[in-house]
Amino acid sequence: MTAPTLVPYDEVVERFDPVLGLEVHVELNTQTKMFCGCPTTFGAEPNTQVCPVCLGLPGALPVVNRKAVESAIRIGLALNCTITPWGRFARKNYFYPDMPKNFQTSQYDEPIAVDGYLDVPLDDGSVVRVEIERAHMEEDTGKSLHVGGSTGRIHGAEYSLLDYNRAGVPLIEIVTKMIPGTRERAPEVARAYVTALRDLLRALGVSDVRMDQGSMRCDVNLSLSPRDSGVLGTRSETKNVNSLRSVERAVRYEMTRQAGVLLAGERVVQETRHFDESTGSTSPGRTKETAEDYRYFPEPDLVPIAPPAEWVEELRATLPELPWEHRRRIQAEWGISDAEMRDLVNAGVLELIEATVAAGAPAGEARSWWVSYLTQQANTRGVEPTGLPITPAQLARVIALVASGELNNKLARQVVDGVLAGEGEPDEVVAARGLAVVSDDSALIAAVDEALAAQPDVAEKIRGGKVAAAGAIVGAVMKATKGQADAKRVRELVIERCS
Ligand code: ZN
Ligand code: MN
């Protein structure tokens, strides 16, 4: 296979219009699976959360999880969809080792939610409306683990292992309509859509939406039309892109790759593609099946889903404040600018700050810790700020210790470092490292006198009324106490001792 010719991005945009489509699979955070009572805890020992139903053993009968239907309806409503009053599950037939029934129970032509939209905020503050075609319920498959290869893919592996813990976990698949007209912003729009959807689902409390753990997975469909022609091109479908940044990169890469194919006078192949995180490129998967290949038919073992209108209205009443409305309110409360707010959101620290404030810290303090020191720490460690081993409550405690004068800012950092290093709660770190501010005046007076004696010329100046010279003595005392003195109190004492 020859390497694809990539066309420079500017040229792609000049000659073609990208048409985007996004399919997002979200695992619901229900206690139990979609059609059986097995638990859904992530990371359990392989094949410990299984039963005859989710293993697809002959004769086992599924029962729908009410909570999953409830979440599906709430998602549909939050996406401004119509909730279908009656619909059946369908069998999507295909063989794959991680799906022991040989069909996935899904919804086909009778999805629970149809025809909605999501207003997606972009970085510059503008909003793009992305239309939603459908949101349907289905079950997740098990997981294959390919052992022995370098890539973790089946190709080159020595053998494969199967874990069915995930088989039957409730999924909602959310499919957009084609998104035209995004031009050079197509990669940004794709990323912004997935971000907005993630935030919305998180606010609904229906999923962990952890892309890194696979509880939210995105398939990126992309085709190119010759600029302003309106003629639809053939699309590729890049599967299971698992970070926001990768969504953006996958769109960009496919634009430059497909343009290369088209400009060479060839045709884009309709296929699924894999995204490679390390190179940012995509490679061909299987040639895309069509719906007919799946031989869909209504699932005879499940009753139709027919949510009564009153129930739907009850669920509508439980919808939370939308994330962007919430942000607007918080921004006003904290009195910060649009740009400052955007930085918080982009840095992924908004929720952390809110949680720190909820734990009792003033907003300004909480903000400054998360935006500067803790974001730096996260960058150094190569993790998201949410992945840092410090909780908002612990940070709030550190902030409280500073407010009460028990710590100064420098010491507070050392306490945070201790918490990050796993040394325990802030108070334990203070005790173990001996970090409390020296507030005992007699100890400070001794240090001040010593510093004055060591610098008699400076002491003379202060005695002569040159209060500005006190800085040198304060500095010496701070050094002698390893930064553990309250500098303001030291200054007061220096002046007292010289008058
Ligand atoms: Zn089960
Ligand atoms: Mn699906």
What's the pLDDT tens digit per position in 3-23?
A: 889 999 999 999 999 999 999
pLDDT in tens, 98-138: 999 999 999 999 999 999 999 998 888 789 999 999 999 99
Average pLDDT over every residue of 293-297: 92
**How far is ligand 2, taken at its centre, from the CA of residue 138, in Å?**
7
Q: How far, in Å, CA of 327 to CA of 131, rounded?
A: 23
Q: Which ligand is nearest to the CA of 100?
A: 1
**How far is ligand 2, taken at its centre, from the CA of residue 103, in Å?**
12
Predicted confidence (pLDDT) at residue 1 exceeds the cutoff of 60: no
**How far is ligand 1, taken at its centre, from the CA of residue 169, in Å?**
9
Number of alpha carbons in the 13 Å side-chain half-sphere of residue 61: 5
Band (pLDDT 50/70/90 cuts) for residue 348 is: confident
**How far is ligand 2, taken at its centre, from the CA of residue 169, in Å?**
12
**How far is ligand 1, taken at its centre, from the CA of residue 50, in Å?**
4
**How far is ligand 1, taken at its centre, from the CA of residue 38, in Å?**
4
Q: Which ligand is nearest to the CA of 32?
A: 1
Predicted confidence (pLDDT) at residue 206 exceeds the cutoff of 90: yes
pLDDT in tens, 370-381: 999 999 999 999
Provide the pLDDT for residue 45: 96
Predicted confidence (pLDDT) at residue 222 exceeds the cutoff of 80: yes
The CA-CA-CA angle for residues 361, 367, 372, to 5°, reads 130
**How far is ligand 1, taken at its centre, from the CA of residue 51, in Å?**
4
Share of the chain above pLDDT 90, in %: 70
**How far is ligand 2, taken at its centre, from the CA of residue 133, in Å?**
14
Share of the chain above pLDDT 70, in %: 99
**How far is ligand 1, taken at its centre, from the CA of residue 300, in Å?**
19
Provide the pLDDT for residue 324: 80
Q: How far, in Å, CA of 483 to CA of 475, rounded?
A: 9
Predicted confidence (pLDDT) at residue 467 exceeds the cutoff of 60: yes
pLDDT in tens, 132-165: 999 999 999 999 998 887 777 777 889 999 999 9
Predicted confidence (pLDDT) at residue 257 exceeds the cutoff of 60: yes
**How far is ligand 2, taken at its centre, from the CA of residue 66, in Å?**
20
**How far is ligand 1, taken at its centre, from the CA of residue 175, in Å?**
27
Provide the pLDDT for residue 416: 96
Q: Which ligand is nearest to the CA of 51?
A: 1
Q: How far, in Å, CA of 302 to CA of 138, rounded?
A: 13
Provide the pLDDT for residue 343: 86
Q: How far, in Å, CA of 311 to CA of 289, rounded?
A: 37
The CA-CA-CA angle for residues 261, 218, 317, to 5°, reads 140
Tokens of 54: 């989710």
Q: Which ligand is nearest to the CA of 106?
A: 2
**How far is ligand 1, taken at its centre, from the CA of residue 164, in Å?**
9
Considering the chain, what is the average pLDDT of its residues?
92
Q: Which ligand is nearest to the CA of 65?
A: 1
**How far is ligand 1, taken at its centre, from the CA of residue 208, in Å?**
21
Tokens of 355: 């949680």
Provide the pLDDT for residue 3: 82
378 contacts: CB under 8 Å, gap ≥ 6: 384, 385, 387, 388
Average pLDDT over every residue of 414-429: 95
Q: Name the range with the highest mean pLDDT among 86-90, 342-346, 450-454.
A: 86-90
Domains and CATH numbers, the chain: 9-315 (no CATH), 323-433 (no CATH), 441-498 (1.10.10.410)
Provide the pLDDT for residue 288: 63
Band (pLDDT 50/70/90 cuts) for residue 443 is: confident
Predicted confidence (pLDDT) at residue 248 exceeds the cutoff of 90: yes
Band (pLDDT 50/70/90 cuts) for residue 321 is: confident
Average pLDDT over every residue of 421-434: 92
**How far is ligand 1, taken at its centre, from the CA of residue 177, in Å?**
34
**How far is ligand 1, taken at its centre, from the CA of residue 459, in Å?**
80
Helix crossing, 487-498 with 470-480: angle to 10°? 130
Q: Which ligand is nearest to the CA of 137?
A: 2
DSSP class per residue in 418-471: HHHTT--SHHHHHHHHT-S-B--HHHHHHHHHHHHHH-HHHHHHHHTT-GGGHH
**How far is ligand 1, taken at its centre, from the CA of residue 96, in Å?**
18
Provide the pLDDT for residue 405: 83
Q: How far, in Å, CA of 227 to CA of 403, rounded?
A: 60
Band (pLDDT 50/70/90 cuts) for residue 477 is: confident
Provide the pLDDT for residue 220: 97
**How far is ligand 1, taken at its centre, from the CA of residue 39, in Å?**
8
Query: Do residues 244 and 195 make contact, with C-beta atoms less than 8 angstroms apart?
Result: yes
Predicted confidence (pLDDT) at residue 211 exceeds the cutoff of 80: yes
Tokens of 167: 């088989």
